[in-house]
Amino acid sequence: MLRGLYLGRFQPYHLGHHEVLKKIATEVSEIIIGIGSAQISHEIENPFTAGERVLMVSRAIEELGIKHYVIPIEDIRRNSLWVSHVMSMVPPFDVAYTNNPLVIELLGEAGVDVRESPLFKRNSYSGTEIRRRMLENDRWEHFVPGKVVEIIQEINGVKRLRKVSQSDDE
Ligand code: NAD
Query: Is 47 touching ligand 1 by the criterion CB < 6 Å?
Result: no
In tens digits, what is the pLDDT along the chain, a chain of 170 residues? 999 999 999 999 999 999 999 999 999 999 999 999 999 999 999 999 999 999 999 999 999 999 999 999 999 999 999 999 999 999 999 999 999 999 999 999 999 999 998 899 999 999 999 999 999 999 999 999 999 999 999 999 999 999 999 987 76
Examine residue 21 and state whether it is found in any structural domain, yes or no. Answer: yes
Pick from 52, 75, 142 the residue to mutate for probing ligand 1's pocket: most ligand atoms within 8 Å of its CB.
75
CATH number at residue 77: 3.40.50.620
Ligand 1 atom closest to the Cα of residue 121 is 18
Residue 168 has a pLDDT of 76
Examine residue 64 and state whether it is found in any structural domain, yes or no. Answer: yes
Query: Is 165 touching ligand 1 by the criterion CB < 6 Å?
Result: no
Examine residue 95 and state whether it is found in any structural domain, yes or no. Answer: yes
pTM value > 0.85: yes
Bridge-based pairing state of the strands 30-35 and 114-115: unpaired
Residue 118 has a pLDDT of 85
**Amino acid making up residue 30:** E
Bridge-based pairing state of the strands 67-72 and 30-35: parallel
In the reported structure, the alpha carbon of residue 140 is separated from the centroid of ligand 1 by a whole-number distance in angstroms of: 20
Examine residue 91 and state whether it is found in any structural domain, yes or no. Answer: yes
Which structural domain, as residue segments, surrounds residue 136?
A: 3-165
Examine residue 170 and state whether it is found in any structural domain, yes or no. Answer: no
Query: Is 10 touching ligand 1 by the criterion CB < 6 Å?
Result: yes
Examine residue 147 and state whether it is found in any structural domain, yes or no. Answer: yes
Looking at the 3D structure of the chain, how many domains does it have? 1
47 CB burial (10 A radius; 0-12, 13-18, 19+): buried
**Amino acid making up residue 86:** V
Residues 6 or more apart in contact with residue 122 via CB below 8 angstroms: 16
